[in-house]
Amino acid sequence: MATAKNITIEVVKDSDAENPRNWDNLGVMVCAHRRYTLGDEDGLSKVVSFIKEHVSDASLEKIGFDESDLPSVEKALLLSGKAVVLPLHLYDHSGITMSTSPFSCSWDSGQVGFIYVPKEAVLEEFGWKQMSAKRTLQIAKTLNSEVVVYDQYLTGDVWGFRVKADGEETDSCWGFYGDDPVTNGILEYLCDEAKQLVKAGQYARVYQ
């Protein structure tokens, strides 16, 4: 364990991390899987309500809309033209990982749902009067960032830290997503001396 003067620092795996889908997210994550509970608990009910509000019954009948079938739901959502939508792909092999891009192994992966945000909600959130291609890309990047954080939760890539002085714990904090303590927010919670140690890579990583 790295030590400078009387201070030691441990970067510790957070075994009780909070599900980031419980946060105040911009996007709504809708998933269906026979073995895993994924995404937002009320995601399906939200998107079905949104679709019925913005797509006519005639249009839904024409595409054979089935609110219990996720591909059908996604098709209807895209038909509305009133949301920014990204697909969600899951790779399931000795653990699960999620991405908005397909995985190279088609045998153990596939689309498991989608994440979306109504354009009207975006306009209200950012105070914009209208969407543009640039703004749509910006929102897509925000949705992708939410998926990255959720993937860190799914893969157990969430951490905390402990600071000890003379062997006694003096500080700790948990819930940092991503394994790099220089970029995941841990530095903001450290005293100057501990911060310099972490920047220099002088810390121990602990897997609980």
Task: Dump pLDDT digits (tens) for 43-68.
Answer: 999 999 999 999 999 999 999 999 99
- Match 């991390």 to its residue by tokens: 17
Model confidence over 117-128: pLDDT tens digits? 999 999 999 999
Whether residue 105 is found in the same domain as residue 190: no
Strand order in the sheet with 28-31: 28-31, 109-118, 83-92, 96-99
Whether residue 123 is found in the same domain as residue 189: no
CA dist., res. 145 & res. 149, Å (int): 6
Whether residue 106 is found in the same domain as residue 181: no
Rounded alpha-carbon distances, angstroms, from residue 183 to 30, 55, 88, 148, 197:
29, 43, 25, 14, 14
Count structural domains, the chain.
Answer: 2
pLDDT reported for residue 167? 86
Whether residue 84 is found in the same domain as residue 168: no
pLDDT band of 192, cuts 50, 70, 90:
very high
Whether residue 117 is found in the same domain as residue 142: yes
pLDDT reported for residue 94? 86
Whether residue 130 is found in the same domain as residue 174: no
Whether residue 117 is found in the same domain as residue 171: no
pLDDT band of 5, cuts 50, 70, 90:
low
Asked if residue 4 has pLDDT above 80, the reply is no
Domain boundary, last residue among 154, 175, 196? 154
Whether residue 71 is found in the same domain as residue 118: yes
pTM, rounded to two decimals: 0.92
pLDDT band of 1, cuts 50, 70, 90:
very low
pLDDT reported for residue 105? 84
Whether residue 101 is found in the same domain as residue 178: no
Domain boundary, last residue among 112, 139, 154? 154
> Among 76-85, 102-111, 140-149, 151-160, which stretch is predicted with the lowest mean pLDDT?
102-111
- When pLDDT is averaged across residues 12-31 and rounded to a whole number, the result is 97
Which residues, 6+ apart, have CB-to-CB distance to 108 below 8 Å? 91, 92, 93
- When pLDDT is averaged across residues 93-118 and rounded to a whole number, the result is 93
Whether residue 32 is found in the same domain as residue 126: yes
Whether residue 74 is found in the same domain as residue 28: yes
The range of the structural domain enclosing residue 82 comes to: 20-154
Whether residue 69 is found in the same domain as residue 92: yes
